[in-house]
Structure 1
Amino acid sequence: MLYFQDLLVGSGVRVEGFMGSYNPPGGFRAVHVAICTIEKANSLINRLLEENNFDNIGCVVVDELHLLGDPHRGYLLELLLTKLKYISKKGLCPPIQIVGMSATLPNLDVLAKWLDATLYKTDFRPIPLIEFIKVNRSIYKATDLTSSESFEPEFAIDNDPGDAIYLCIDTILKGYSVLVFCPTKNWCETLALQIAGEVKRLGCSNTELAVKIRKQLNSEAISDTLQQLKNSPVGLESVLGKCVSFGVAYHHAGLTLDERDIVEGGFRKSVLRVLVATSTLSSGVNLPARRVIIRSPLFNGRMMDILSYKQMVGRAGRMGKDTAGESYLLCTEEQKSQGQKLVTSELPSVESCLGHSDLSNSLKRAVLEVVASGLISSYEEVQCYTNCTLLAVYEDSEKISQAVQKCVKYLTTKGFIELKNETEISVSSLAEACLSASMTPDQGLALLAELDKARKCFVLDSDLHAVYQVTPFSVSNQWSLDWMKAFSMWEALPKNVQKIGQLVGVDERFLIKAMRGTMNFQADNQVQNIAVHKRFFTALALQDLINEIPLNKVAGKYGGN
């Protein structure tokens, strides 16, 4: 967004971002170029469907098209593109051009056929990329895993497994920037602190090495970056401040949008020379560096997938600044064979995420959105719409037809739609509410049950019950609860607050089982219980913020960032 705003400044073209809960003044109608997350883009398309107002959309550009195969967000992107494809096919709007881009799509021909698109493909990379695997003190080229070179650091650094810190400082000394990918937020912050500590130790001595390090860091520009962070709404976080002071920063979902913008800007301008990040930075954020280091091939307790790896190493090499890019995958001796397999693997074909698990379950939202928006009003049109999905390219038409029947039956039974004359479809207020709120049918039913419960008994002696009712599922579902901490907090709550928790479904026995790890969190009968408890503790955190408790204290109290 910032790039396009700078590019088009003074042209009269207004560029704005739509992300999270943020909508720019004037909304979608007031902008010429809208930069959106997948979720926001789908919500905007739904709104335009309701208003039957596609006249002003000329082009939809989808960057990172391979996210169609993402198990968490891929189905939303597929629904968005399917809706555009369907309305174009039916002639319900002027032609809308769809441009899809990706550097990691193996089955391009299938996707081009699905979108009825012209295919452009190139293997050209303006900056050559050299991939390495580093196993202890041996370095292998990804193109030749049979031979290795010995790695000997030119200066010693204590407590530096994999030589990650040395590789970062070596990059600084050569006048370049480096991206380091770590599996978790805590790992990012810890490693960033260690790198900053070594830069301080080495740079504060009276050696020739210290002079070289100090020469590479722009103290005045670093001071400006620190001041920007101090002036941000949440102020300067202490750990981030210690890192930035020495040209190092971290980047993960725990940072606010303002902090991310400042950190990203500092890295682009080479004020910050080392950026330690989680894997989310590898997709969608344009922050290339001369060197990319992947701290471990294990992410979330298992070997990372080839798509994530390609996205990460693809950040190596900056156009116009570097003549080459290089990546290092750091492995232990035990991880060597897995690492070698990773760098030589082929990208898997991107397939429809609507086909995961039970087809009728995954199609619920797909059908609900187009019916509630008025785009479709008959059973035959539902069949036609589902034939426009990427799923229809892969699955047997009979199987899809059976799944649609199950899906329509479910939506009818739950009161979302009504079938007239066995073919004509009318929608209920519940369906329209789900569409407006960008909710799945299951979430809509859960929220309706919560509201029905609240109508019978609503607690007014504090804001908590009201805050709970308006806490979005999209926020609480992202919350990773520490069940031990949650139980301790629950015990310390006043009786009147515990009463609100019990009213919404918080169960002390559930908390005890979750704390002891004696529960199957994946079981269907526990999913709703987990959602209620997450939502309650999210509401507690939001109430603290409403009561003007500083953000850093709330983050520390609830184990957030």
Structure 2
Amino acid sequence: QQQQQQQQQQQQQRQAEQETSRQGDSTRAPAAAAAAANNNSNNNNNDNNNNTNNNTNNNNNKNHDINNNHDINNNSNNNNSNNNSNNNNHEMGVGPGGKSATATSKVDARFQLVEELRQAPSGLCPVLAKTVPRGVAYHHAGLTVEERTLLETAYRTGTLSCLCATSTLAAGVNLPARRVIIRSMKIGSQSLDAVRFRQMAGRAGRVGLDVKGECIVVAKTSKDAAEAQCLFSAELAPLRSSLHGQRLARAVLEVVSLGLIQTVEALEGRFARSLLRCQEELAQQGGHEPGALLEDIRVALAYLEERQLVRVDSAAGNNNSNNNSNNNNTNNDNHNNRQLVRVESAAGVGAGNINNNINSNNNSSNINNNQQQQQQLEGRQLVRVDSAASMDGLQASEVVAAAGAPARRHPPQATLLSTPLGDGVVHSSLRPAEALSVFEDLQKARKGLRLDTELHLIFLATPASSGLEPDWPRFLSYYERLQPRDRAVADAVGVSHNFLVKQSMGHRGPLGDLPATGGGAPPGAPTDWRQERERIAALHRRFWAALALRELAAEAAPSRVAAAFAVPRGALQALQGLAATYCGMVRQLCERLRWHEMAALFDCLTPRLNFGVCPEGQPLCRIAGVYPARARALLEAGLTTVEAVANASVASVEVILRKLSQFESHRSDAEAARRQEVVVRQTAMKIVRGAQDRLGELLQNLEDEAEEEQLRVRRAISGTG
């Protein structure tokens, strides 16, 4: 390899000298030769560190490409526009029959990027296999994390010259460019607004990274051209507080559960200092109608109180008004000790009991049925939202209707207490409506959880708003091929064969004689057939996502699962990560309710959803560069622990990776085979180094724990003495 590198160095030196001599500028020949020598030196020094192409590209300042997108890299490397100009002149100084060292290194970098994409967990996309060698790639939500990281890095370093992206890239990823082309004045069915336009246009010529930038808007009609002109000078819409609906209800629950406030008066005073209140005061000064923040707080409090997430103790408030100074500590004790729902009784309270307010001890703090009917007549009613549909876009009526009668008032000194269920909602980070839906599902599962299959537990750990739209005919076919035990789970959670048939046939009207699934809509929920259809459809989407997650947990290849369920690879990977996080949130809710058996089940399921590998391979998946398929290959080769991988030689790991990736040593293209060898070797080095780093972290954690234990023992001994 060293001999090949020396030969390449000599060849590139000769090419640089010939090119400069053809230009007739003999004074630049030594400088060009020196630049080429430095570039090759950098290549030699960094070939084993997976930086060969990047260093070559950076030293050559590869800025003059098709779209001139990456003068940024030149500026960031040199911090000097004069150097940038000189380097561009050097690169462009190529005769008609010659090819510069920079162009050669850029092509090599692109082909190496193709090999790195081929080694990714999802494999090489056929589209990227054709476009990346030409310096073009795409970027959208369908990419996996590994693909996205590789493409973004290649774009920053200049390996890629053109990136075709969706509008979400502008808002989420810092990828500065020389030129941004907006090819349409619409994003989907919505017109481009000033905020999105400036987000996308702002990627061109970032301050500190480039000296200039260009933004081109393609206007297909005269109307589009006029709208584009308006966007150039349009003012941004004012920022608005998002403290409303479920967000306001959760904010109220948080301050009560964490003990930040103890009374109704303190609650109203705390939100009086919020951004929403300041905006309301400014609106009143401008002659607008006064806001209704305090009324919204009361409505949110009534919402939490009715669902037994918060208790309002008016009697304690009366005592506080007589003995303010003596009862501060009492309020704190009440907050910590007094509970509306006792720990074990909370485990037995069903969603129907919550919604119907059967608890006779709390009639004074709950809104009874007559009051609900009166509120409905007056135009302001509490809407129950523990259905999955409410988490999937039906946000308008999550807490209250827009207008109507004021909510029930409590004395200013009334004490606010959080129930165990309310504490569980806060510590699980779930929204109140979503937590109530999870609580209802868990209640049913505790009475009949199917443990002969993982599907039931995975369904409970699947977010209701998974965002995975099924292919309904494919869903129906999959459902009809389910094993009997899986079919029993589908029936238990409310999946309907009739509904799948109707969806597969394209029926989108009223459900008709279709039986209600999952126990039907909760009491008091809207009866509009569209909302009922959406509720049932959301349940089936959730089950479809659970089926995909079950395949991943069984170590199925992500590419195969994505093809079987007709979903993008990136969307499937995002669902996997979201489900692992959601599973931890559900486990936290079970812990707060002291359902320790259920919590233990979710605790074991979380890493399986996160890594998609058996328990034996989970420690290996924590090593950098190891994904489930590689973890399985390492296990089969006898490297069953992090320590074993850390002590293994790079050559042995390279042999394992070659078998896994079906290494093509017979390829006719010798250069392609060499690049594949380089990528496999670099990956093996990355895995071994990652295992060594991981082992060091584990040892450091053990040392820290030992020091903490010694400190605790010393404190205990000194306290005893």
TM-score interval w.r.t. the shorter chain?
Answer: 0.5 to 0.7
What is the CA–CA distance in structure 2 between the aligned matches of 1:425 and 1:402, rounded to whole Å? 17
Q: CA deviation at 1:227?
A: 3.5
What is the CA–CA distance in structure 1 between the aligned matches of 2:267 and 2:97, rounded to whole Å? 69
User: What amino acid is aligned across from residue 544 of structure 1 in structure 2?
Assistant: E
Q: Which residue of 351, 358, 368 corresponds with 2:240?
A: 351
Matched, 1:400 2:293: yes
1:217/1:271 contact within 8 Å kept: no
What is the CA–CA distance in structure 2 between the aligned matches of 1:463 and 1:545, rounded to whole Å? 12
Q: CA deviation at 1:464?
A: 0.6
Alpha carbons of structure 1 residues 544 and 406: separation in structure 2 relative to 1, 3 Å: same
Alpha carbons of structure 1 residues 525 and 354: separation in structure 2 relative to 1, 3 Å: farther
User: What amino acid is aligned across from residue 417 of structure 1 in structure 2?
Assistant: V
Query: Could you say which residue in structure 2 is the equivalent of 1:365?
Result: 250
What is the CA–CA distance in structure 1 between the aligned matches of 2:98 and 2:430, rounded to whole Å? 56
2:138/2:165 contact within 8 Å kept: yes
Give me the CA root mean square deviation.
3.3
Query: Could you say which residue in structure 2 is the equivalent of 1:431?
Result: 422
Q: CA deviation at 1:175?
A: 4.1
Secondary structure of 2:543's partner?
helix
Matched, 1:325 2:213: yes
Aligned residues: 359
Q: Higher relative contact order by CA 8 Å / sep ≥ 6: 1 or 2?
A: 1
1:178/1:275 contact within 8 Å kept: no
* CA offsets 1:469-516 (integer angstroms, 9 cap, x no match): 12234xx43323344543443344445433322211223344455552
Secondary structure of 2:65's partner?
helix
Spell out the pairing of 1:383-462 with structure 2 (5 A cutoff). Answer: 383-395=268-280, 399-421=292-314, 423-462=414-453
Q: Comparing 289-298 with 527-536, which one deviates more in the overlay?
A: 527-536
Q: Which runs of 5+ in 2 are unaligned?
A: 1-62, 73-94, 282-289, 315-409, 511-527, 569-721
Query: Could you say which residue in structure 1 is the equivalent of 2:487?
Result: 498
User: What amino acid is aligned across from residue 431 of structure 2 in structure 1?
Assistant: T
What is the CA–CA distance in structure 2 between the aligned matches of 1:385 and 1:485, rounded to whole Å? 52
User: What amino acid is aligned across from residue 214 of structure 2 in structure 1?
Assistant: E
Query: Could you say which residue in structure 2 is the equivalent of 1:552?
Result: 559
TM-score by length of 2: 0.45
What is the CA–CA distance in structure 2 between the aligned matches of 1:321 and 1:419, rounded to whole Å? 56
* CA offsets 1:53-108 (integer angstroms, 9 cap, x no match): xxxxxxxxxxxxxxxxxxxxxxxxxxxxxxxxxxxxxxxxxxxxxxxxxxxxxxxx
Secondary structure of 1:367's partner?
helix
What is the CA–CA distance in structure 1 between the aligned matches of 2:432 and 2:240, rounded to whole Å? 24
Query: Could you say which residue in structure 2 is the equivalent of 1:535?
Result: 542
* CA offsets 1:277-335 (integer angstroms, 9 cap, x no match): 12221114211101111222221212122211110011011456643211122232264
Matched, 1:375 2:265: no
Q: Which residue of 245, 260, 279 corresponds with 2:167?
A: 279
2:68/2:178 contact within 8 Å kept: no
Identical-pair percentage? 33
What is the CA–CA distance in structure 1 between the aligned matches of 2:534 and 2:261, rounded to whole Å? 32
Alpha carbons of structure 1 residues 255 and 472: separation in structure 2 relative to 1, 3 Å: same
User: What amino acid is aligned across from residue 263 of structure 2 in structure 1?
Assistant: S
Secondary structure of 2:147's partner?
helix
Query: Could you say which residue in structure 2 is the equivalent of 1:251?
Result: 139
Q: CA deviation at 1:385?
A: 2.5
Secondary structure of 1:445's partner?
helix
Query: Could you say which residue in structure 2 is the equivalent of 1:228?
Result: 116
Q: Which residue of 455, 466, 471 corresponds with 1:464?
A: 455
Secondary structure of 2:252's partner?
helix
2:69/2:162 contact within 8 Å kept: no
Alpha carbons of structure 1 residues 174 and 275: separation in structure 2 relative to 1, 3 Å: closer
* CA offsets 1:435-494 (integer angstroms, 9 cap, x no match): 222111000010111111212222233211111112234xx4332334454344334444
Alpha carbons of structure 1 residues 477 and 304: separation in structure 2 relative to 1, 3 Å: farther
* Larger relative helix fraction: 2
User: What amino acid is aligned across from residue 352 of structure 1 in structure 2?
Assistant: S
1:173/1:213 contact within 8 Å kept: no
User: What amino acid is aligned across from residue 393 of structure 1 in structure 2?
Assistant: C
What is the CA–CA distance in structure 2 between the aligned matches of 1:485 and 1:209, rounded to whole Å? 56
Alpha carbons of structure 1 residues 454 and 346: separation in structure 2 relative to 1, 3 Å: same
Q: Which runs of 5+ in 1 are unaligned?
A: 1-169, 180-206
1:513/1:519 contact within 8 Å kept: no
Q: Which residue of 227, 239, 246 corresponds with 2:127?
A: 239
Q: CA deviation at 1:529?
A: 2.7
User: What amino acid is aligned across from residue 129 of structure 2 in structure 1?
Assistant: G
User: What amino acid is aligned across from residue 236 of structure 2 in structure 1?
Assistant: L
Q: Which residue of 502, 508, 511 corresponds with 1:518?
A: 508
Query: Could you say which residue in structure 1 is the equivalent of 2:198?
Result: 310
1:420/1:426 contact within 8 Å kept: yes
What is the CA–CA distance in structure 1 between the aligned matches of 2:97 and 2:272, rounded to whole Å? 64
Q: CA deviation at 1:382?
A: 1.8
Q: CA deviation at 1:367?
A: 1.1
Alpha carbons of structure 1 residues 495 and 250: separation in structure 2 relative to 1, 3 Å: same
1:371/1:377 contact within 8 Å kept: yes
1:175/1:216 contact within 8 Å kept: no
Alpha carbons of structure 1 residues 174 and 419: separation in structure 2 relative to 1, 3 Å: closer
* CA offsets 1:383-405 (integer angstroms, 9 cap, x no match): 12322322212337761111111
Secondary structure of 1:327's partner?
strand
Alpha carbons of structure 1 residues 548 and 506: separation in structure 2 relative to 1, 3 Å: same
Q: CA deviation at 1:230?
A: 3.5
Spell out the pairing of 1:45-194 with structure 2 (5 A cutoff). Answer: 172-173=65-66, 175-177=68-70
1:178/1:273 contact within 8 Å kept: no
What is the CA–CA distance in structure 1 between the aligned matches of 2:129 and 2:216, rounded to whole Å? 27
Alpha carbons of structure 1 residues 559 and 522: separation in structure 2 relative to 1, 3 Å: farther
Larger radius of gyration: 2
Secondary structure of 2:243's partner?
helix
User: What amino acid is aligned across from residue 557 of structure 1 in structure 2?
Assistant: A
* CA offsets 1:14-39 (integer angstroms, 9 cap, x no match): xxxxxxxxxxxxxxxxxxxxxxxxxx
Alpha carbons of structure 1 residues 480 and 335: separation in structure 2 relative to 1, 3 Å: farther
Alpha carbons of structure 1 residues 177 and 376: separation in structure 2 relative to 1, 3 Å: same
Q: Comparing 224-233 with 427-436, which one deviates more in the overlay?
A: 224-233
* Larger relative strand fraction: 1
User: What amino acid is aligned across from residue 486 of structure 2 in structure 1?
Assistant: V
2:70/2:156 contact within 8 Å kept: no
